[in-house]
Copies of this chain bind each other. A is one copy, B any other.
Amino acid sequence: MKRRDVLKVAGAGFAAAAIAKPAIAQSMPELKWRCTSSFPKSLDTLYGGAEIFAKAVAEATENKFQIQVFAAGEIVPGLQAADAVTNGTVEMCHTASYYYVGKDPTFALPCAVPFGLNARMQNAWVYFGGGIDLTNEFYKKYNIYALPAGNTGCQMGGWFRKEIKEPGDFNGLKMRIGGYAGRVLQKLGCVPQQLAGGDIYPALEKGTIDAAEWVGPYDDEKLGFYKVAPYYYYPGWWEGGTMIHAFINIDKWSSLSPTYKSIVRTAADMTNVWMQAKYDAVNPAALRRLVAEKTQLRPFSQPVMDACFKAANEVYDEVSATNPMFKKIWESIRDFRNEEYLWWSVAEYNNDNYMIRHTRS
């Protein structure tokens, strides 16, 4: 935000003061929107984000702008939330953009991609690295205006019935894993499966699948995977900082007054920091509980990480070769990431490194 913009606004403010009441009447109309979440109510961190967002908008507008939140399945299934926004069934949704890679792999980029940005870098790219404009240039085609509204932080690498020691152990492995990351693991012979949250546990229990990734300790514990797959791998290199978005129907967004646009944007930013803080607060105790239940924590080995990194870069090249929008956004993320990690390796990483070694209890 440039200083002159601030001054311009302040100027407009003084001018508007004389006609304050008519301005409010015009620009704070009564509105009722519906927001379909891609998440069930049981996932109080993901689903809760939409409620916190709606609450902030309602409070700021004295309930003149009410956004009613619906859990996945109440209006449309969780994985069809974006479609409901595109076709105007609902005014907005709260979702993970990578759910829609079937339409276009570009959907994965603003959300999480293999060996991408961590959560703070994702914010830096979105707010100050041109990310929000670049991605909305893409979403426009789907009648969507997107705002960042949540992050999970770095996710876990999922639950495995058998240990994964080398890249070859992925060969033939049937794993529940999302679209873009699944394409990367296919290069190692993995057979990715698309399953909704509630279907994962029985599949893992029966052995229909050998492995499944979901989010991290707090959410994964709720789904009970630790009971049927003892090995819990890290890091989830395909989700270094998964960003959740508010997708708003573009005509509905355009129809908002500048006041309402500002309120919605600020509420989304608040939701962004809220969700990450909540995940960071609840994950440690969940991790302890999982370990107490005999969960075996395992890091992916260096050869496994290297094979996945190589495979990911191949997939980036393949998709970029035929999809100019993907190429444009991916290159922006990749270049930004390389600069960010250069700086991260200095103060931030070394501080964390020391603290990790000196806070063991």
Cβ contacts under 8 Å, A216 to chain B: 347
Contact check, B340 vs A284: say whether CB atoms are below 8 A apart: yes
Give the number of times this chain occurs in the complex, counting copies. Answer: 2
Report the minimum CB–CB distance from A31 to chain B (whole Å).
11
Report the minimum CB–CB distance from A314 to chain B (whole Å).
15
Contact check, B59 vs A258: say whether CB atoms are below 8 A apart: yes
Contact check, B351 vs A356: say whether CB atoms are below 8 A apart: no
Option from B48, B277, B284, B351 in Cβ contact (under 8 Å) with A235 = B351
Report the minimum CB–CB distance from A124 to chain B (whole Å).
4
Cβ contacts under 8 Å, A68 to chain B: 10
A43 touches B (CB below 8 Å): no
**Docked complex: A88-141 residues within 8 A CB-CB of B:** 115, 118-121, 123-129
Per-residue contact bits, chain A 1-29, to B (CB 8 Å; 1 contact, 0 not): 10101100110111011001001100110
Contact check, A1 vs B351: say whether CB atoms are below 8 A apart: no
Contact check, A124 vs B309: say whether CB atoms are below 8 A apart: no
Query: How distant is the Cα of A284 from the Cα of B337 in the complex, in angstroms?
Result: 10
Contact check, A342 vs B13: say whether CB atoms are below 8 A apart: no
Residue on B nearest A25 in the bound complex, by CB: B21
Contact check, B56 vs A346: say whether CB atoms are below 8 A apart: no
Contact check, A262 vs B342: say whether CB atoms are below 8 A apart: no
A276 touches B (CB below 8 Å): yes
Per-residue contact bits, chain A 334-346, to B (CB 8 Å; 1 contact, 0 not): 0001111111111
Cβ contacts under 8 Å, A5 to chain B: 55
Contact check, A344 vs B361: say whether CB atoms are below 8 A apart: no
Report the minimum CB–CB distance from A286 to chain B (whole Å).
9
Whether A9 contacts B359 in the complex (CB less than 8 A), given A235-B347, A277-B126, A280-B340, comes out as no
Binds B, one of A150-158, A159-167, A321-329: A150-158
Binds B, one of A78-86, A172-180, A187-195, A267-275: A267-275
Contact check, B123 vs A273: say whether CB atoms are below 8 A apart: yes
Cβ contacts under 8 Å, A16 to chain B: 62-63
**Docked complex: A245-283 residues within 8 A CB-CB of B:** 258-259, 262-263, 266-267, 269-270, 272-274, 276-278, 280-283
Cβ contacts under 8 Å, A13 to chain B: 58, 63, 66
**Docked complex: A31-82 residues within 8 A CB-CB of B:** 41, 44, 48, 51-52, 54-56, 58-60, 62-64, 66, 68
Cβ contacts under 8 Å, A282 to chain B: 128
Option from B62, B236, B345 in Cβ contact (under 8 Å) with A28 = B62
Whether A60 contacts B126 in the complex (CB less than 8 A), given A120-B119, A284-B339, A350-B299, comes out as no
Cβ contacts under 8 Å, A3 to chain B: 41, 44, 48, 51
Cβ contacts under 8 Å, A288 to chain B: 339, 342
> Could you list some 15 contacts between A and B, CB below 8 A?
A3-B44, A3-B48, A6-B55, A10-B68, A12-B63, A20-B64, A59-B266, A62-B259, A128-B277, A234-B350, A235-B347, A269-B274, A341-B359, A342-B360, A345-B356
Closest 9 CB pairs of A and B: A13-B63, A128-B281, A59-B262, A235-B351, A124-B280, A269-B270, A123-B277, A284-B339, A124-B281
